[in-house]
Amino acid sequence: MAKNTHDVIVIGAGHNGLTAASYMAKAGLDVVVLEKNEWIGGAAVSRELYPGWKYSNCSYVCSLLRPEIMRDLELYKYGLQIIPYEGSATMMRNGDYYAHYHDHDMTINSIRRHSHKDAEAYERYSRDVLRQCKIIKPLLKMTPPDLTSFKPKDLFGALEFAKHFAAKDELGGLGEKEIYDTIRFYTMSIRDYLDEYFESDITKAHLAGSAIIGTALGPCSPGSAYVLLHHYMGEVDGSVGAWGYSRGGMGSITKAMTGCLNAHGGEVKPDNEVVNVITKNGRAIGVATKKGDEYYAKKIVSNLDVKRTFLKITEESSLPGEFVERVKNFKIRGSSGKLNIALDGLPEFPCIPEGDPGGGGDMHFTETIEEMEGAYDDWKRGEWSRNPYVDMCIPSKSDPTMAAPGKHYMSVFIQYVPFNLANGGWNEERKQEFGRHIVDCIAEFSPNFKDLINHYEVRTPLELDNEVGLTEGNIFQGELTMDQLMFNRPVPGYAQYRTPLKNMYMCSSSTHPGGGVMGAPGANAAREVLIDMNIPQTGNYY
């Protein structure tokens, strides 16, 4: 039994669990990570399901992963490289297209083809969004203060939070107007927000995409503007809002984190599903696995979402009733699906001119916000969208390691797909029907697409729940709305990575600052554990 005693147990080898584990191992703790699947990575994973093709099975692009984390954990040393991509495009049924580029002025020229006014409004829009990104950036790394507490730590924390909102040194002083803007941004719908800048449907539809990816909100739902910000606040080497591929697929991120963890004496144990948190007198003291093993540790950190952590693997009787109610009410609705496709060649998209860098990144075919809202309406009825919003990309266009030269891997993210499918729920037949529907939608824009398909993997919210462990298949491990953000995430009173059980912590995307392959929840949680253990933290992140 003695060998199953560690300083820290982390439940779940997703990117946040591994980030937390690596920081704690770097600080000298003996850390073990228990993972239910036979593979490592959670939703940042690359698996070869068809020989010769690597998929980014769940998450597929990278921007939010904090550079300080990559630096502290020396992820490059363990094989991580981010490849920025050049542009994005929305294809139109009339054969035209709309494109965004790495280069700001090329984007302006492109928008101008659709609306001269929009091209100039884009300058104002990007300034305003960038301003919001700058306000939020320092908040990501902070543990949200408890606003009801009078502890000095919370009072100072609240002050610090407020200071960043006013952020005088960083932004040259925000006036009253800008603070109002911030509050509006966090509560508005993306449609209303974009209407304040743009006139052309295609411009608005292209930009609105980021506001609905992964969320169970529609473009007309209040709060969707924030989701856009959440997708913009990342960066690729200082280029705020830019996205890139992780060389070798998203699994390279968690593989590199595992490399760092191992180098500092930590270990990941795959195929070890935690089924129960062992408690004693209101303290978490260990975990039991499905295999029947028990592990004991001074600290237990759960990377499972808040619902799984407290409704599935923790005895309800060991938790305060009100807390359990709050967790039950936590919104975590699945809304997305995915296709991973092995292609025998490069599909043609005649809407996008050959060699146009706009085709190098994400591609879409939703032309108006109304179409998008229509797709959402289907979801509300428990159906997958007949005319879905897709975020599709071909990472092998930029990454030579995903498939052999000339062969391609295509990732298609689909919005909206319900967890509770109407009329009897998901089964294999309906899953395949959904997959065929998406293939048909894409084929409308690519004449040779269907002929090139060797294999594809269909992911519905049900798989994301069962296999990856994301409750209801919600990719953010909890909706990104104001009632569930910052000091409210996951539930008020427990936003500081601690839980009602002593020695038990949360580090998943259910905690501040939320979803995306960001690593910030993991790094923040590790900091709180280290503070409680009186171990100094070092590194660029802290």
Q: Which residues of 468-477 are buried (b: 16+ CB within 10 A; e: fewer)?
A: bbbbbbbbbb
DSSP string for residues in 277-326: EEEETTEEEEEEETTS-EEEEEEEEE-S-HHIIIIISS-GGGS-HHHHHH
Q: Within a 10 A sphere around the Cβ of 187, how many other Cβ atoms?
A: 14
Q: Which of residues 170-209 bind another protein (CB under 8 A)?
A: 172
- Strands (E) across 232-293 are located at 235-236, 239-240, 244-246, 267-269, 274-280, 283-289
**Does 247 contact another protein by CB under 8 A?**
yes
Tokens of 43: 């939703």
Q: Which of residues 89-108 bind another protein (CB under 8 A)?
A: 102-103
State the nearest-atom distance from the C-beta of 405 to another protein, in Å.
4
State the nearest-atom distance from the C-beta of 75 to another protein, in Å.
7
Give the nearer residue to another protein in terms of CB position, either 347 or 357: 357
**Does 406 contact another protein by CB under 8 A?**
yes
- Sign, Cα dihedral of 71, 76, 81, 84: positive
Tokens of 398: 């930029």
Residue range at the interface with another protein (CB under 8 A); choices 303-311, 374-382, 403-411, 528-536: 403-411
101, 423, 172: which is closest to 112 by C-alpha? 101
**Does 130 contact another protein by CB under 8 A?**
no
Tokens of 58: 């769940």
**Does 357 contact another protein by CB under 8 A?**
yes
**Does 237 contact another protein by CB under 8 A?**
yes
Instruction: Give, in degrees to the nearest 5, the angle at Cα 139 between 135 and 144.
Output: 140
> Phi and psi dihedrals of 152, rounded to 5?
-55, -40
**Does 81 contact another protein by CB under 8 A?**
yes
Among 40, 58, 229, 236, binds another protein (CB under 8 A): 236
**Does 239 contact another protein by CB under 8 A?**
yes
Give the nearer residue to another protein in terms of CB position, either 68 or 199: 68
**Does 238 contact another protein by CB under 8 A?**
yes
Among 28, 382, 400, 447, binds another protein (CB under 8 A): 400
Q: List Cβ<8 Å contacts ≥24 apart for 392-395.
A: 392/362, 392/363, 392/364, 392/442, 393/60, 393/61, 393/85, 393/361, 393/362, 393/363, 394/343, 394/346, 394/347, 395/56, 395/60, 395/245, 395/249
**Does 123 contact another protein by CB under 8 A?**
no
State the nearest-atom distance from the C-beta of 370 to another protein, in Å.
35
**Does 364 contact another protein by CB under 8 A?**
no
Among 83, 240, 263, 535, binds another protein (CB under 8 A): 83
Residue range at the interface with another protein (CB under 8 A); choices 186-194, 402-410, 454-462, 466-474: 402-410
Residue range at the interface with another protein (CB under 8 A); choices 82-90, 155-163, 256-264, 451-459: 82-90
What does the binding site for another protein look like in residue numbers (CB under 8 A)? 67-68, 70-71, 74-76, 81-84, 86, 102-103, 172, 236-239, 247, 357, 398-401, 404-406, 540
